[in-house]
Amino acid sequence: MNSKQIISLLPYQDPFLFVDDLTEISSKGITGHYTFKKETHFYKGHFKNNPITPGVILTECMAQIGLVCLGIYILKDEFVENTNPKIALTSSQVDFFLPVYPGEKVTVVSEKEVFRFNKLKCNVKMYNEKGDLICRGKISGMIKA
């Protein structure tokens, strides 16, 4: 299963799709990228005259790439084209270190900690284009085909 196939199975669409591409994919982990569009609606109010990407959106981006895309890849034999995965985020613990500004490209790197009984737990990190750590944490969820 390649990057394009995985992204096509995601149950998200614009404006709530936070995956542009996946560059490394294995059953042990995944790496992907997303560029936050300058015209995205939440920048108008977060924060006044100093727009930054909300932490909940950064967490969602990390979950989409680091958990959902990886889960689809791990369960690839159970998926057929146009199948929508059933996903439930069960927990996240994320620490934030740097802001993400409109137009900024981020890289998400996820390493599988455990996958058992359709529950996936990952260690996920997000970096900016300079390679600086933006945030990191553990994200868990249930994924079924």
Catalytic site residues?
A: 46
3-class SS at 78?
A: helix
Pairwise CA distance, residues 135 & 105, whole Å: 14
Give the CA angle between residues 19, 20, 21 to the nearest 5°: 100
DSSP string spanning 98-122?
A: S---TT-EEEEEEEEEEEETTEEEE
Place of tokens 């500004």: 101
Contact 6, 73 (CB under 8 A): yes
